Amino acid sequence: MPKKTIPDEKKLVIKSMVDSGMSYREIQKVIPDVSMGAISKIAKQFEGDRELVEYFKKNRADVLANLQRLKVEKQHLILESMTEKELKGLKATEKFKGLVALDTGMGIDFDKERLERGQSTENVHLLIEAIEDLKRRRAKSGA
């Protein structure tokens, strides 16, 4: 008898049931056409993924900081590998676009890391300063 293939959608449902804490027996009562052995096999297939997800959740800020470090190292390698002739051969717009892309990516990564650590980002800090400055000016002018 050929092996029955379980659709990916059904596997994801089983995975979510396992993640929610249901026992294999409870899952089989809900999905009776899947054996206990198959449920166990599906759960084990996703086990590595679940460990990675949990690690990422617990260490998200450190993971993001490490990614930033790796990006900076690669950027330095790329920039150091370029000769003066190659740099001079680039159009001003190409240089500008490259710098903007690097700066934007670094800014996004920096903000993500700070938010994960419960810290404000520079933009929030600037807004707070502007509001406080406006309050001081109004207080001085008597408004």
Each residue's pLDDT tens digit, 7-25: 888 888 888 888 888 899 9
Residue 1 shares a structural domain with residue 41:
yes
Question: Mean pLDDT across the stretch 74-94?
Answer: 85
| Predicted model pTM | 0.42
Shared domain for 15 and 51, answered yes or no, is yes
Q: What is the mean pLDDT of the chain?
A: 83
For residues 68-94, average pLDDT: 85
Q: Take residue 120 and report the two structure tokens written for it.
A: 């404000």
Are 48 and 88 members of one domain?
no
Give the count of domains, the chain: 2
Which residue, among 133, 129, 80, 70, has the nearest Cα to 105 in the 3D structure? 70
Name the residue range of residue 130's domain. Answer: 82-143
Per the domain annotation, does 73 fall within a domain? no
In a domain, 67, yes or no: no
Q: What is the pLDDT of residue 65?
A: 86
Task: Write down which residue in 58, 74, 97 finishes a domain.
Answer: 58
| Residue 102 forms part of a structural domain | yes
Shared-domain flag, residues 91 and 141:
yes
Torsion of CA 129, 133, 139, 143, to 10 degrees: -110
Q: What are 37-58's pLDDT values in tens digits?
A: 999 998 888 777 777 777 888 8
